């Protein structure tokens, strides 16, 4: 749902600001999981303030519905964007992933794990400039300093980390799950296919993920750089202690191209002036 309430008036010219409205029907909510899930989402979204993360501006709690007034992102889902393009160049991928890594670093620095990163939860604020924003914090969890591991089985199967689906009653995991999901998205961006899928078995999808079984198939990967493949390997590492952190991913050679930093700095200098008062 899209609304355009009046934001401000300068002289005789009215300025309108568009917002998105997320409507939650209380009749579909249980007393435990969904209400807690909504509570977590609102806490997370109120706390965040980053140019590559969708913001929430207000909340209206009515008798039968809850209305979340959110930032409007105009160019649709990254899923549709990548589906139409089939795949991205390495240069385009760097532009997108500089924003994604920066946004996830911001979340992780604030002890927040997204837990459901996938192309459908990345929105295009400006497709022509490859500007993206991470959305849908419905599965996010604020991690207190004494609660650094999460035990809920969640996330989308194609992008879920192996520790989330581990066959153990003592399953636990942390923010590293986001890095695995970004590794899957990075793989998709560069070749247009998923690294894990039922049709690639045996073994089945979940077992492929558990053991980290994937390949750089020819001819799709023939012209992709070794640095790109190495970054994917670092992200799609089953052992969480060896998986790249977001800071390590940002420092990876694949991301170290001067023109991408110049482009990104020009693209975001205005936003960072607002958010970080540089």
The CATH classification number of 78-269 equals 1.10.510.10
For the chain, what is the mean pLDDT?
83
Q: How many CB atoms lie within 10 A of CB 220?
A: 13
- The CATH 1.10.510.10 domain(s) of the chain lie at 78-269
Q: In this structure, are residues 115 and 140 in contact, taking their beta carbons and an 8 Å threshold?
A: yes
- Give the tens place of pLDDT for each residue, 53-72: 998 888 787 888 888 888 99
- Among residues 40, 109, 116, 222, which one is catalytic? 116
Is 268 buried (19+), middle (13-18) or exposed (0-12) by CB count in 10 A?
middle
Structure tokens at 263: 């482009």
CB-CB contact of 88 with 82 (8 Å): yes
Contacts 24+ apart (CB under 8 A), 86-92: 86/192, 87/188, 87/189, 87/190, 87/191, 87/192, 88/189, 88/190, 90/190, 90/224, 90/225, 90/228, 90/254, 91/257, 91/259, 91/260, 92/130, 92/189
Pick 78 or 66 by higher pLDDT.
Answer: 78
* CATH 3.30.200.20 domain position(s) in the chain: 2-71
pLDDT at 103: 95
pLDDT: is 266 or 277 the higher one?
266
Rounded CA gap, 229 and 183, in Å? 10
Percent of the chain topping pLDDT 70: 77
Average pLDDT (262-269) is 57
On the question of a cis peptide bond just before residue 203, with omega within 30 degrees of 0, the verdict is yes
- Superfamily of structural domain 2-71: Phosphorylase Kinase; domain 1 (3.30.200.20)
Q: Where are the alpha helices (DSSP H) in 6-148?
A: 33-47, 78-85, 90-109
CB-CB contact of 35 with 42 (8 Å)? no
pLDDT of residue 273: 44
114-159 pLDDT tens trace: 999 999 999 999 999 999 999 887 666 656 654 456 666 666 899 9
CB atoms within 10 A of CB 274: 10
Q: What SS3 class is residue 236? A: coil
Per-residue pLDDT at 171 exceeds 50: yes
- Which of 183, 149, 182 lies closest to 166 in space, CA to CA? 149
Instruction: Give burial (CB, 10 Å; 0-12/13-18/19+) of 92.
Output: middle
**Is 116 an active-site residue?**
yes
The answer to whether the beta carbons of residues 161 and 180 sit under 8 Å apart is: yes
| 176-197 pLDDT, tens digit each | 999 999 999 999 999 999 999 9
Q: 186-216 as b/e, with b when 16 or more CB fall inside 10 Å?
A: bbbbbbeebbbeeebeeeebbebbbebbbeb
Query: On the CB side of 11, how many CA atoms lie within 13 Å of its CA?
Result: 1
Q: Is the pLDDT of residue 275 over 60?
A: no
Q: Could you tell me the CA-to-CA distances from 155 to 67, 75, 217 in Å, in that order? A: 24, 24, 26
214-254 pLDDT, tens per residue?
999 999 999 999 999 999 999 999 999 999 999 999 999 99
């Amino acid at each position: 749902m899209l609304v355009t309430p009046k934001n401000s008036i300068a002289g005789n010219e009215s300025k309108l600001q568009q917002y998105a409205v997320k409507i939650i029907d209380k009749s579909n909510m249980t007393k435990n999981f969904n209400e807690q899930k909504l509570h977590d989402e609102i806490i997370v979204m109120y706390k965040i303030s980053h140019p590559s993360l969708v913001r929430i501006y207000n909340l209206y709690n009515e008798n039968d519905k809850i209305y979340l007034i959110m930032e409007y992102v105009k160019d649709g889902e990254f899923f549709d964007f990548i589906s139409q393009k089939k795949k991205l160049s390495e240069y385009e991928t760097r532009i997108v992933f500089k924003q994604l890594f920066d946004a996830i670093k911001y979340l992780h620095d604030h002890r927040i794990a997204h837990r459901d990163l996938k192309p459908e939860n990345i929105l295009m604020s400006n497709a022509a400039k490859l500007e993206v924003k991470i959305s849908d914090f419905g599965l996010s969890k604020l991690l207190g300093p004494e609660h650094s591991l999460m035990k809920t089985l969640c996330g989308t199967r194609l992008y879920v980390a192996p520790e989330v689906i581990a066959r153990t009653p003592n399953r636990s995991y942390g923010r590293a799950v986001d890095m695995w999901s970004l590794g899957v998205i990075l793989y998709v961006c560069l070749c247009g296919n998923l690294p894990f899928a039922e049709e690639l078995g045996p073994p089945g999808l979940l077992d492929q993920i558990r053991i980290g079984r994937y390949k750089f198939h020819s001819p799709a990967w023939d012209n992709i750089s070794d640095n790109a493949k190495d970054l994917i390997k670092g992200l799609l590492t089953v052992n969480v202690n060896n998986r790249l952190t977001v800071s390590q991913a940002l420092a990876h050679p694949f991301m170290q191209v001067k023109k991408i930093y110049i482009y990104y700095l020009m693209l975001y200098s205005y936003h960072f002036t607002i958010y970080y008062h540089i």
